[in-house]
């Protein structure tokens, strides 16, 4: 059996469980694939309308249907191409005992799976970065060294992007973060008809939150021993549950990535960020067509293939995907910067 056969590669990739990032899992759990090269994204604005009164002796009053807006976009294409070193099977692999315990073919299979897992991890981290931008800005910017700049605006209400300044910042005297969350939740409900109960904070914002007088007073009142909530962190995850307060579930997030253009570390969410929303945003991941005949012209989230250049003999493996992310209800999410970082 040729382990680099297209069908074998596809089966191997399908066996790898995708480890989506915290924001993707929590807010963009949905997924769709299609064979079209363009993705149609529906965005709906909910309204808290009420039924009109009329006399029983007149005709019914016409009520305008609640519509939605459709965006059409061609997703940026991902082509993660790597050289597969022919010397790999003859070199001790990571974790293998000294002097070697695996056969060359076993090393080859293990090396192939390792590369495929890394390609999928990089794809999912790219998706996590896109999700973070949509949650924070209500927009999505697509750019790359070999891709023109494109911005997709999901028309989130401008009032749902907040920046505290002056004496209103978290950490300032007299500022009550719990009151902020409550007023912001009412704002989201007013704009979308959805009541949010999930709060995601970057670590620096969470530290200001926990140090505030109102939160300390709340903890002392509702915890008999006066202890603070111990964060429930999962090893290897970017986000963790930090407890509940005032009807809100608090999560802390510190996701990072390597920006490929300057090749430097970056935060997925900007410093001092607080997100307020929930799964009602109905975010989903959409994947456009794989423009490769070897993919069978089928709809799939990603496709892996391999080939050999004969002279000099070099094998390549490549993962292709055309991902985009979108929220069905963008007004169900609020983003706040709670302190200006100088």
Find the CATH number of the domain harbouring 221.
Answer: 3.30.1930.10
Q: What tens digit of pLDDT does each residue of 109-138 get?
A: 778 888 888 999 999 999 999 999 999 999
Residue-level pLDDT at 48: 66
Pairing of strands 323-327, 283-287: antiparallel
299-308 own/partner pairs: CB under 8 Å, 24+ apart: 299/33, 299/34, 299/35, 300/33, 301/31, 301/33, 302/13, 302/78, 302/120, 302/123, 303/10, 304/9, 304/10, 304/12, 304/13, 304/116, 304/119, 305/6, 305/9, 306/4, 306/6, 306/9, 306/84
Within 10 Å of residue 292's Cβ, how many Cβ atoms? 14
Does 259 lie in the same domain as 167? yes
CA distances from 1 to 11, 110, 270 (A): 13, 15, 48
Q: Is the pLDDT of residue 7 over 80?
A: no
Q: What is the CATH number of the domain that holds 28?
A: 3.15.30.10
The reported pLDDT for the residue numbered 278 is 87
- Judge whether 38 lies within some domain: yes
Counted domains in the chain: 2
Burial 94-106 (b: 16+ CB within 10 A, else e): eeeeeeeeeeeee
Phi first, then psi: give them for residue 30, nearest 5 degrees: -75, 160
The dihedral region occupied by 107, where left means phi > 0, alpha psi between -120 and 50, and beta the remainder, is alpha
Q: Round the average pLDDT of the chain to a whole number and report it.
A: 83
Q: Quick check: 330 and 281 in contact, CB under 8 A?
A: yes
Query: What are the beta bridge partners of residue 336?
Result: 162, 274
Instruction: For residue 140, give its domain range.
Output: 6-44+69-152+288-320
Average pLDDT over residues 266-282: 94
How much is the pLDDT for 300? 83
If we measure between CA atoms, which residue out of 219, 218, 214 comes closest to residue 172?
A: 214
Among 7-21, 150-164, 311-325, which stretch is predicted with the lowest mean pLDDT?
A: 7-21
Q: What is the pLDDT of residue 162?
A: 97
Provide the pLDDT for residue 227: 40
End-to-end Cα spacing for the chain = 59
> Both 167 and 136 in a single domain?
no
* pLDDT at residue number 205: 97
When pLDDT is cut at 50, 70 and 90, the band that residue 270 belongs to is very high
Higher pLDDT, 276 or 303: 276
> Which residues are 33's β-sheet partners?
287
The pLDDT-based confidence of 28 (bands split at 50, 70, 90) is very high
Backbone phi and psi for residue 200, each to the nearest 5 degrees, phi listed first: -115, 125
Q: Give yes or no: residues 11 and 147 share one domain.
A: yes
pTM, 2 dp: 0.84
Q: Helix, strand or coil for residue 103? A: coil
Band of residue 276 on the pLDDT scale cut at 50, 70, 90: very high
| pLDDT attached to residue 170 | 95
Q: Do 131 and 191 reside in the same domain of the chain?
A: no
- Residue the block writes with tokens 């008999």: 224
pLDDT tens figures, 39-71: 777 776 666 667 776 657 666 565 556 656 677
pLDDT in tens, 199-227: 999 999 999 999 999 998 888 877 644 34
Structure-model confidence comparison of residues 286 and 134, the more confident one: 134
In a domain, 97, yes or no: yes
Residue 87 has pLDDT above 90, yes or no: no
Per-residue model confidence (pLDDT) at position 199: 96
Task: Give yes or no for a contact between 157 and 53, defined as CB atoms under 8 angstroms apart.
Answer: no
| Structure confidence at residue 64 (pLDDT) | 58
Q: Which two tokens stand for residue 168?
A: 């209103």
Residues 98, 39 share a domain? yes
Is residue 231 a part of any domain in this protein?
A: yes
Per DSSP, which regions of 145-215 are E strands? 147-153, 161-163, 198-202
Read off the pLDDT of each residue in 311-332 and give the average, rounded to a whole number. 88
Amino acid 23: pLDDT? 94
């Amino acid at each position: 059996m040729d382990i680099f056969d297209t069908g074998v590669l596809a089966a191997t990739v399908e066996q790898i469980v995708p480890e989506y990032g915290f924001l993707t899992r929590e807010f963009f759990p949905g997924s769709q694939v299609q064979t079209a090269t363009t993705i149609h994204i529906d965005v709906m604005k909910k309204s808290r309308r009420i039924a009109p009164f009329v006399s029983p002796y007149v005709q019914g009053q016409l009520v305008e249907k609640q519509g939605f807006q459709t965006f059409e976009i061609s997703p940026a294409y991902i082509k993660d191409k790597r050289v597969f070193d022919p010397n790999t099977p003859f070199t001790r692999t990571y974790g293998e005992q000294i002097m070697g315990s695996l056969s060359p073919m076993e090393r080859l299979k293990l090396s192939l799976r390792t590369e495929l897992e890394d390609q999928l991890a990089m794809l999912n981290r790219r998706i996590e970065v896109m999700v973070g931008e949509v949650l924070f800005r209500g927009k999505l910017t697509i750019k790359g060294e070999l891709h023109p700049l494109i911005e997709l605006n999901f028309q989130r209400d401008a009032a749902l992007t907040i920046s505290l300044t002056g004496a209103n910042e978290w950490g300032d005297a007299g500022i009550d973060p719990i009151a902020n969350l409550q007023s912001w939740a009412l704002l989201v409900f007013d704009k979308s008809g959805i009541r949010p109960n999930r709060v995601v904070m970057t670590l620096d914002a969470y530290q200001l939150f926990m140090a505030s007088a109102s939160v300390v007073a709340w903890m002392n009142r509702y915890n008999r021993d006066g202890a603070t909530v111990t964060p429930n962190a999962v090893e290897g995850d970017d986000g963790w549950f930090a407890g509940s307060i005032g009807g809100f579930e608090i999560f802390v997030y510190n996701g990072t990535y390597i920006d490929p253009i300057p090749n430097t570390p970056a935060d997925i969410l900007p410093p001092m960020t607080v997100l307020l929303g929930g799964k009602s945003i109905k975010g989903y991941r959409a994947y456009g067509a794989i423009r490769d005949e070897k993919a069978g012209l089928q709809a799939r989230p990603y496709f892996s293939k391999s080939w050999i250049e004969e002279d000099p003999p070099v094998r390549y493996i490549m993962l292709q995907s055309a991902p985009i992310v979108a929220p069905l209800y963008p007004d169900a999410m609020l983003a706040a910067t709670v302190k200006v970082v100088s």
